[in-house]
Amino acid sequence: MSANAQIIKTQVGIVGGGPAGLMLSHLLAKSGIENIVVEKRDHETIRTTHRAGILEAGSVKMLTDTGVNGRVLTEGMEHEGIDLRFNGESHRLNFPDLVGATVTLYPQNEVFVDLAAARKRDGGDVRYSVTDTEVLDMTTDTPKIRFTDSEGQLFEIHCEILVGADGSQGICKWAIPQEYRTDNFIEYPFAWFGILTEAPKSSDELIYANSPHGFALISQRSETVQRMYFQADPNEDASKWTEDQIWDELQKRVDGPDGFQLKRGPIFEQMILKFRSYVCEPMRYGNMFLAGDAGHTVPPTGAKGLNLALADVKVLFEAIDSYYSTKSKELLDGYSDRALKRVWKAQNFSYWMTNMLHTRKDANPFEVKRALGELQTVVSSRYGQQYLAESYTGWPHS
Ligand code: PHB
C-alpha cells in the first residue's frame, strides 16, 4: 500500500467508464453489488468521440429492459436491412424477412450518454479524469486499483473482483504477465477515411460498397447529418483532402448504371480510422476479468465492437452475480471460454466482411474477381443472405 493513498473498499472495481464499464456497473448496482468505476477521460471527451453506430436487437434490449432508458427506441433509427453494392449494383438484404430481426442506428456516444446519466441518476460511483491508474495484486483475493483523482488525491480501491473495461488502449491487459496471455492479432493494409457532413440522407439504410477503387460505407446520423467512410491508406493525411476531392472519391466508389448519386454538403469532420483484429486469451488473470475492447478489437466493417462489449458484460454480470449469490466461482471460471466463443464468431464475421468488401492495392485481377464471386454467392441465395443477416443482426445472447 502506498503511504498516503486513501483506501476505498468495494466488491467490484471497474477500470474504464465507456459503455462496457458503465453497463456492468449499472447491472451490478441493480443486483445490489457495490462497485466503483474509474475512467481516465472526462465525460465530454467520451461524449464527443465518434464511434460506430449499429446496435443489434439484443443490445437495444439490454438498454431498455434493464432500465437505462428508452431513448434508443425514440431517437435510434430502426433499420430493416442493408445494401451490399458491387459492380455498381445494389442488393438489399431484408433482415426481418431473412432472420426475423432488425438493427438500430444509434451512435455509441449516445449509448455512453444514456449509461452515464443512468449511473448518475441511480447514485453510481463513477470517477472521471483519473490519472496514473495501475492494477495490482490480481491473483490475490484483494485485487487493487491505484489511481490519482482529478483533484490530485491518491486512492487505492481494494476490491474482490477487478474488471478491465478500459478499451483497446487500456492498461489492464498489459498488466497480465506475458507468459499468461496470448495476443492474437492481424493488421490490415488499409484504414477508413471517415467524414461527418451536413447533408440530407443519400440512403435510408446503410450501403456497404465494394468497387475497383476500394470500399465505401454510406451511413447516417440524422435527417441532416450523415456519416460516410471510404477505404484509404493508413498513412493518409486526412487534413490534406478538399471537400470536392472527398466527395468525388466517395462517389466513384458507389457509381453505377443506376445513376446513384450521393447528396453532398459541407464536411465538418474528416479523420483516418486505423483498425486491426485482436484477441487477448484468456480474458482473465486471477481475479481480473477483461470485457469489451480491453480484451478484443474488431475492424468496424461488421459493426460488432460495441455489441460484442455488451455481450461480454452480460456474461460477466451473470458470473459475478452468481458468485455473490452462491459463493461458487464456477461461472467466473467459465467466463473467458464462454465470452470467447462469441468473440471468435464476431472476429470471423468482421474479418470476412472486411476482406470481402475492401480491395487491396496490390490485388491482382484474380483476387478482385474472386471477391466479386464471393459477394455474388452471398446475394444470390437465401442461405448466403441469411448467413450475413444472422451475423450482422447478432446471434442470440446465450
Ligand atoms: C457508423 O455509422 O459509424 C457505422 C455503421 C456501420 C459500420 C461502421 C460504422 O459497420
pLDDT (0 to 100) of residue 50: 83
pLDDT at 53: 87
Pocket of ligand 1 (CB under 6 A): 52-54, 206, 217, 219, 227, 300-301, 303
Based on the fold, state whether residues 195 and 54 are members of the same structural domain: no
Rounded to the nearest angstrom, the distance between the alpha carbon of 303 and the centre of ligand 1 is: 6
Domain that holds residue 368: 186-275+359-393
| 212 in active site | no
Please indicate, yes or no, whether the overall pTM of this predicted structure exceeds 0.85. yes
The closest residue, in CA terms, to atom 6 on ligand 1 is 303
CA–CA separation, 188 and 251 (whole Å): 24
Which residues, 6+ apart, have CB-to-CB distance to 62 below 8 Å? 23, 68, 310, 314
Instruction: Give domain status of residue 99, yes or no.
Output: no
SS3 state of residue 388: helix
Ligand 1 centroid–CA 194 distance in Å is 10
Q: What local confidence, expressed as pLDDT, does residue 2 receive?
A: 54
Does 90 map to a domain?
no
Do both 306 and 349 map to the same domain? Answer: yes
| Ligand 1, atom 4: closest residue by C-alpha | 52
CA separation for the pair 71, 48 (Å, rounded):
18
Q: Are 122 and 240 contained in the same domain? A: no
Pick from 95, 215, 220, 229 the residue to mutate for probing ligand 1's pocket: most ligand atoms within 8 Å of its CB. Answer: 229
- Mean of the per-residue pLDDT values of the chain: 97
Same domain, 194 and 270: yes
H-run or E-run covering 368: helix 365-379
Lateral strand order in the sheet of 206-209:
89-94, 81-86, 206-209, 216-220, 225-232, 191-198, 267-273
Is 398 a domain residue?
no
Q: Which of 106, 229, 278, 392 is catalytic?
A: 392
Atom of ligand 1 minimally distant from the CA of 105: 2
Q: What is the percentage of the chain residues whose pLDDT exceeds 70?
A: 99
Residues of the chain with pLDDT under 50: none
Is 97 within a domain? no
Q: The domain spanning residue 37 has which CATH number? A: 3.50.50.60
Q: Is 79 a catalytic residue?
A: yes
Do 235 and 245 lie in one domain? The reply is yes
Q: Is 96 a catalytic residue?
A: no
Same domain flag for 125 and 13: yes
Atom number, ligand 1, closest to the C-alpha of residue 301? 10
Please tell me whether residues 241 and 370 are part of one structural domain. yes
Do residue 110 and residue 173 come from a single domain? yes
Q: Is residue 245 part of a domain?
A: yes
61 is catalytic: no
Q: What is the CATH number of the domain that holds 380?
A: 3.30.9.10
363 & 250 share domain: yes
Active-site residue 392, yes or no?
Answer: yes
**Is residue 164 within 8 Å of 39, Cβ to Cβ?**
no
Total domain count for the chain?
2
Same-domain status, 231 and 311: no
Contact between 208 and 231 (Cβ < 8 Å): no
Distance 78 CA to ligand 1 centre (A): 14
Q: What is the DSSP letter of 396?
A: P
Q: Are residues 209 and 320 in the same domain?
A: no
For residue 56, is it within any domain? yes
Of the residues 300, 314, 335, 358, only one is catalytic, namely: 300
Please name the residues in contact with 322: beta carbons below 8 A apart, sequence gap of 6 or more: 328, 330, 331, 332
User: Does 365 lie in the same domain as 338?
Assistant: no
- How does DSSP assign 65-80, residue by residue? HTTS-SHHHHHSEEE-
> Could you tell me if residue 254 is inside a domain?
yes
Q: Is residue 163 part of a domain?
A: yes
